[in-house]
Amino acid sequence: MLNKKTAVITGASSGIGRAIANSLAKDGMHVYITGRNNEKLELVRSQIENSGGSVSASAFDIRDINKLQDFIKRAKEETGRLDVMVNNAGLHIHGKIAETDPESWREMIDVNILALLAGSQSAIHAMRQNSENGGGNIINISSGNAKEPGKDFYSSTKHMVNSLCEALTQELADEPIQITNIMPGAVATNFGRSADPAMIQGLASKLGINAEIKKGQHLSDELLNRIHSAMEQIFLSPEDIANAVVYALKQPKNVVMREMYMCAPKVYLGKDFSF
């Protein structure tokens, strides 16, 4: 169902975005991937190509809306179509509102909300030009925290993502462009790199892992895999989210996955361990 089609994935240099890109490429899609870290993005590109997949990569800051929309247009122009847009890029800067630098709010708004809006807008325009009366799928990676908008500022931005998904669903009700909102709970990714290093190091120590963690540092794949393996009842893996994306895309045309909330067995709403 996905072979020879085209997808754009943001935030694809690591974690959930990387897993989604790999999964869609394995299903025969030409994936256009973007992220801020060129070195990590090139590693993902190499992984996909070495596995026989088709991929195009471009590193830039997703807050540059013009670059984002140009990238989406490029995918449509080069392949003649755009079938899937995955708005995956997200930013979580930890801290209480009363103590946080206001610039961090702007960063989260720009990445979590404005980039998603700009990506969706450009994708809609491209999908309307697809053959066979147009159409496609826009998949937004929100967060389980969106169900608790009062938890912190990040959760509030993801609550707005949920609202935007509903708005897009209603706006596109008469068009063959489907909106799917996926809300993962705790996932073992580098998304927690902006958290207190002591918290992450404490978690590693409890698992018998000796690791020195610095704020902003990307955790190794080995450490993330060990965390997930030791605590799979609490943490989902990036591949779990990628599987959900593929599942949503492979539904027959008369079935639309509007919303998916995912969490590990020992995590439930109100008791989520954010990482």
Residues labelled catalytic: 154
CA dihedral for 203, 18, 248, 82, sign (positive or negative): positive
**Six-digit token string for 98:** 């009363």
Query: Distance of CA 48 to CAs 12, 84, 129, 223, Å?
Result: 12, 18, 27, 22
Of 125, 166, 118, nearest to 142 (Cα)?
Answer: 166
Burial class for 207, CB neighbours closer than 10 Å (0-12, 13-18, 19+): middle
Please state the φ and ψ torsions of residue 271, each to the nearest 5 degrees. Answer: -130, 25
- HSE on the CB side for 116, CA within 13 Å? 28
Q: Are 256 and 224 in contact (CB under 8 A)?
A: no
